[in-house]
C-alpha cells in the first residue's frame, strides 16, 4: 500500500520505518526542516534499537522523507497522523497541530483515502477531523477518518510496534476497516514473521497479534484508558511501598505475591520514584480533562497523579534522612532519562530530583548511558557529567540511582564501594537486593523496604562509616 505518515517523532518515525519493513511504500512528512534534513542525510534523531537498521534498509527505496504534505497525501492511499498532542495549561491535549494537518490534508484529497489518527488523542477527535475536512469542501465519499492508537514504549519502540499485544483499529464503516486490515495484513497473517530479515521476536510476545476492530470512539478511549490504567498500577504499588516502609514489610515480596495473581500480573508493578515520560503524565491529565468534559468526575486519576508527585518528595526526604544536611554534599547520580533504554528526559523523575537537590545546594556528578546530551541542553552548568557510573561515584558522600538502566543493576559493587567516600547508596529503582548490598559493605536505602546496613555497624553509626 502507499502510506503517508505525518510527523516524524517517536511514533511517526517508528511507524514509518516499520510499515516500510512490512512491505509498504512509505513517505514520512515533517514540517521541522532541521529534522527533515537530518533524516534525509541518514541521521537517526532518536535512540531506538533496530531503528537505524530499518532506516538504512529502506531509505531511498520503500521509505522517503518529505516536507510537502499535500504531495505526500496525493501519492498515498492511507495517511497516518502522528503529530504532537502536547498538554495545554489546563491539562487538555492541544489538538491544534492535528487540526492544521487535517485542514492541509483536505486540500489534497482526490480519490478515496483513509486518514488515521495515531497520536494519542481524546475521544471525539476523529469526528472533529472529519468535520474539519468536510468544512474545507471535501466530498464525503472521498475519505474516511479512523483511529489506530499506538502502544509502543520508548526504548523498545520498534519491537513493540511489530510484536504488539493487540492492534486496535477504530473504524466507523467496513470500507475503512478493510483498508486498515490490509495495512496490517503482513503481521496478522503471520507472513512478516516468516521473513529471514524480520526484526527478532522479543520474549513474552506471541505472533500473529490479534486485530481488534472497534468504533473510532472506543479506539480513542482504549488508548487513554490503557495508559491511565498502567499509570494507576504504578501509583498503586508506590502507595503500597509507602505502607511497607511504615510497617517494615518488603515491597518486592509484596509485588511477587500480588503479581502472581494472573488477574493482576507482575508487569508494571515496579515501585520507585514514580512514572515520567512524554505519555503517562500527559495522558492521565488529558483523560481526566476528557472525563470532566463528558460530565464524569474521574477523581481516581487525581490520586494517581498525586501519589506520583508524592513519590518524588518522599525520595527527597529519604535522601535528607540518610545525609542529614544537603548543602555542600557531593552526590553521584546514576540516571537522567525518564526510564532505562532511552535518551528521552521529558517529564523525567530523575531530572526533577537532580534539579531539586541542586537547589538544596548539593554538588552533583551524574552519569546516564544515553541522556546526557539532551540533559546538557536543558540543565544549568552546575551539574557535572561523568563518563561512567564509577566516575560518578568517585569521592561522593552518597550515590543515588534514579533510572532503571540495566547497566546500573550489574555494577561491580566492590569497585563502587572503593570509589565512594561513604558507602551509602540510595536506590530509587530497587535495582539491588538489600542483603547483598549490606554484605558488600553498603548502607542501602530503597523504596518500600527497610534500610540495610553493613554487618557489625553499631546502630548509632548506621549512616555509612567513613572508610579507613
Ligand atoms: C506523539 C504524540 O505527541 C503523543 O501524543 C503520542 O502519545 C505519541 O505520538 P511523539 O511521537 O513523541 O508523540 O511526538 P513528537 O516527538 O512531538 O513528534 C511529533 C512530530 O510531528 C515532530 O517531529 C514535529 O515536527 C511534527 N509535526 C508537528 C509536524 O510535522 N507537523 C505539525 O503540524 C506538527
Ligand atoms: C508508555 C506506555 O507503556 C506505552 O504503551 C505508550 O504507548 C506510551 O507510554 P513509555 O512512556 O515509553 O510508554 O514508558 P513505560 O515503559 O511505560 O514507562 C513509563 C514510566 O513508568 C517510566 O518513567 C518508568 O520508569 C515508569 N515505570 C514503569 C515504573 O515506575 N514502574 C513500572 O513498573 C513500569
**In this predicted structure, what is the pLDDT of residue 89?**
86
pTM tops 0.85? yes
DSSP three-state, residue 160: helix
Supply 77's cell numbers.
492511499
Grid coordinates of 297: 468526575
pLDDT at 179 over 50: yes
Q: How far is the CA of 295 from the centre of ligand 1 (A)?
A: 29
Q: Which three cell numbers, joined as nine digits, stand for 334?
A: 546514576
CB 334 within 8 A of CB 427: no
Residues paired with residue 452 on neighbouring β-strands, in sequence order: 444
Give the rounded distance of the alpha carbon of 313 from its chain centre: 22
Contacts of 227 (CB under 8 A, 6+ apart): 120, 279, 280, 283, 284, 287
- Looking at residue 47, its pLDDT comes to 85
Whether the Cβ atoms of residue 226 and residue 133 lie closer than 8 Å to each other = no
What local confidence, expressed as pLDDT, does residue 464 receive? Answer: 47
Decide whether any atom of ligand 1 lies within 6 Å of the 11 Cβ: yes
Q: Which residue from 150, 153, 164, 198 is spatially nearest to 341, judged by alpha carbons?
A: 153
| CA of 101, closest atom in ligand 1 | 33
Ligand nearest to the Cα of 161, by number: 2
| pLDDT tens for each residue of 278-321 | 999 999 999 999 999 999 999 999 999 999 999 999 999 999 99
Q: Does residue 188 line the site of ligand 1, with CB under 6 A?
A: no
The single-letter DSSP state of residue 54 is: H
Report which bound ligand comes closest to the CA of 285. Answer: 1
- For 21-50, the pLDDT digits (tens) are 999 999 999 999 999 999 999 999 888 999
Residue range 240-250: average pLDDT?
97
pLDDT digits (tens, 9 = 90+) for 323-344: 999 999 999 999 999 999 999 9
Instruction: Note the ligand closest to the C-alpha atom of 45.
Output: 1
Task: Give residue 381's pLDDT band: very low, low, confident or very high (50, 70, 90).
Answer: confident
Q: Would the CB of 403 count as within 6 Å of ligand 2?
A: no
With a 6 Å cutoff on the Cβ, whether 270 touches ligand 2 is: yes
What does the pLDDT look like over 59-81, one tens digit per residue? 999 999 999 999 999 999 999 99
**Distance (Å) from CA 367 to ligand 1 centroid:** 28
Among 277, 285, 307, say which to mutate for ligand 2: greatest number of ligand atoms within 8 Å of CB.
277
Answer positive or negative: Cα dihedral of 208, 171, 214, 156: positive
* Structural element, H or E, at residue 169: strand 167-170
Q: Check residue 466 and give its pLDDT.
A: 46
Alpha helices, H only, 268-396: 280-293, 299-323, 349-359, 372-378, 389-393
Cα separation of the two ends of the chain: 70
- Note the pLDDT of residue 461: 54
d(C-alpha 277, C-alpha 452), whole Å: 31
Q: Which atom of ligand 2 is nearest to the CA of 152?
A: 7
Tell me the pLDDT band of 460, cut-offs 50, 70 and 90: low
Using a 10 angstrom Cβ sphere, with 0-12 exposed, 13-18 middle and 19 or more buried, the burial of residue 382 is exposed
> Residue 78 — φ and ψ, nearest 5°?
-130, 135
Smallest Cα–Cα separation from 409: which of 446, 461, 452, 464? 446
Considering only CA atoms, which residue is closest to atom 33 of ligand 2? 268
Rounded mean pLDDT, 418-436: 97
Ligand 2 lined by 160 (C-beta under 6 Å):
no
Amino acid at each position: 500500500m502507499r502510506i503517508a505518515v505525518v510527523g516524524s517523532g517517536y511514533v511517526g518515525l517508528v511507524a514509518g520505518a516499520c510499515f516500510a519493513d512490512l512491505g509498504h511504500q512509505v513517505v514520512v512528512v515533517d514540517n521541522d526542516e532541521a529534522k527533515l534534513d537530518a533524516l534525509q542525510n541518514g541521521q537517526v534523531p532518536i535512540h531506538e534499537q533496530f531503528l537505524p537498521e530499518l532506516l538504512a534498509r529502506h531509505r531511498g527505496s520503500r521509505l522517503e522523507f518529505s516536507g510537502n504534505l499535500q504531495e505526500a497525501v496525493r501519492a498515498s492511499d492511507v495517511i497516518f497522523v502522528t503529530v504532537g498532542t502536547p498538554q495545554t495549561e489546563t491539562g487538555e491535549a492541544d489538538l491544534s497541530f492535528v487540526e492544521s494537518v487535517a485542514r492541509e490534508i483536505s486540500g489534497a484529497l482526490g480519490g478515496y483515502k483513509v486518514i488515521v489518527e495515531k497520536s494519542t488523542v481524546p475521544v471525539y477527535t476523529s469526528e472533529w477531523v472529519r468535520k474539519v475536512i468536510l468544512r474545507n469542501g471535501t466530498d464525503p465519499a472521498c475519505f474516511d477518518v479512523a483511529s489506530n492508537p499506538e502502544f509502543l514504549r520508548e526504548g523498545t519502540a520498534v519491537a513493540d510496534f511489530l510484536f504488539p499485544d493487540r492492534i486496535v483499529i477504530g473504524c466507523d464503516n467496513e470500507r475503512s476497516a478493510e483498508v486498515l486490515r490490509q495495512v496490517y495484513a503482513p503481521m496478522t497473517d503471520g507472513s512478516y514473521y516468516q521473513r529471514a530479515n524480520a526484526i527478532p521476536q522479543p520474549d513474552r510476545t506471541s505472533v500473529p497479534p490479534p486485530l481488534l476492530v472497534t468504533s473510532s470512539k472506543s479506539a480513542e478511549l482504549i488508548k487513554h484508558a490503557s495508559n491511565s490504567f498502567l499509570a494507576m498500577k504504578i501509583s498503586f504499588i508506590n502507595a503500597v511501598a509507602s505502607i511497607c516502609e511504615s510497617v517494615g514489610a518488603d515491597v518486592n515480596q509484596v509485588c511477587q505475591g500480588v503479581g502472581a495473581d494472573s488477574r493482576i500480573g507482575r508487569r508494571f508493578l515496579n515501585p520507585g520514584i514514580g512514572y515520567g515520560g512524554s505519555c503517562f503524565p500527559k495522558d492521565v491529565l488529558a483523560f481526566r480533562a476528557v472525563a470532566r468534559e463528558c460530565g464524569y468526575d474521574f477523581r481516581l486519576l487525581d490520586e494517581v497523579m498525586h501519589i506520583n508527585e508524592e513519590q518524588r518528595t518522599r525520595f527527597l526526604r529519604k535522601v535528607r534522612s540518610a545525609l542529614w544536611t544537603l548543602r555542600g554534599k557531593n552526590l553521584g547520580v546514576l540516571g537522567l532519562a525518564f526510564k532505562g533504554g532511552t535518551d528521552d528526559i521529558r517529564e523525567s523523575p530523575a531530572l526533577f530530583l537532580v534539579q531539586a537537590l541542586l537547589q538544596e545546594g548539593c554538588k552533583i556528578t551524574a552519569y546516564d548511558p544515553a541522556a546526557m546530551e539532551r540533559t546538557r541542553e536543558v540543565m544549568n552548568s552546575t551539574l557535572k557529567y561523568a563518563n561512567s557510573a564509577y566516575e560518578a561515584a568517585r569521592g561522593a558522600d552518597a550515590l543515588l540511582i534514579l533510572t532503571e538502566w540495566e547497566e546500573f543493576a550489574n555494577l561491580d559493587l566492590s569497585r563502587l564501594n572503593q570509589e565512594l567516600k561513604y558507602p551509602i547508596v540510595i536506590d530509587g529503582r530497587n535495582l539491588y537486593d538489600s542483603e547483598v548490598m549490606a554484605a558488600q559493605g553498603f548502607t542501602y536505602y530503597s523504596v518500600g523496604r527497610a534500610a540495610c546496613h553493613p554487618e557489625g555497624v553499631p546502630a548509632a553509626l548506621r549512616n555509612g562509616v567513613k572508610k579507613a
